[in-house]
Structure 1
Amino acid sequence: MTPYERLMAEAIPSGRFGDPDVGSPARRAPASASPEQQAARRALLVQEQRGWRLPDATSQRKRERSLERSAERSRERARTRHLRLVPDPTDTRAA
């Protein structure tokens, strides 16, 4: 039987390619963690990820370019945000 046939023989693909589950501890699903354990794990991940950046030069150039574009958009918005005086179309003072 080919690997493709073995995969297609599974009703719901489990990644075992037709092999029976031997029930070893390595193959069993991990026990679910308590909400407190999940919260602690999440807090640890958030703490580790805070401030992390790719250390290569390409990533640094991308960050700088993004900051430059953001600053340019901010300057552009600041220039166009001001009100402009428009002549009143119903002004009858003109002779």
Structure 2
Amino acid sequence: MRWPLGLTAPLAAAGIATGALLGAATASANDAGFMAYLNSHGYTARYADDAPITEPSVRALGHMICENLHVGRTVEMQAPYYPAWPQFPLIAEAARQELCPGS
């Protein structure tokens, strides 16, 4: 395949790679802020049955909350689906503040 000016494909690839790296750095910073918010607001990292919640699980829930907010599902609409998460309102607030501001 022939690329115009011979550099378009490499430049496009470099731009995509740079964007991916910047996006990854932003996501990490948001995840760290999310966990810091939770930990500074009394988060216990326990399910309703007192089993421990792993950090990747709570981060995944935070991102899922954001995805649901972006499609119009309010926190109140989502809460009944997470009865095992007694601190769901706190997790949702942390997600709003750190993972999906403006939602």
User: TM-score normalised to the size of structure 2?
Assistant: 0.28
User: Which one has the bigger helix percentage?
Assistant: 2
Using CA pairs under 8 Å that are at least 6 residues apart, name the structure with larger relative contact order, 1 or 2: 2
Larger Rg: 1
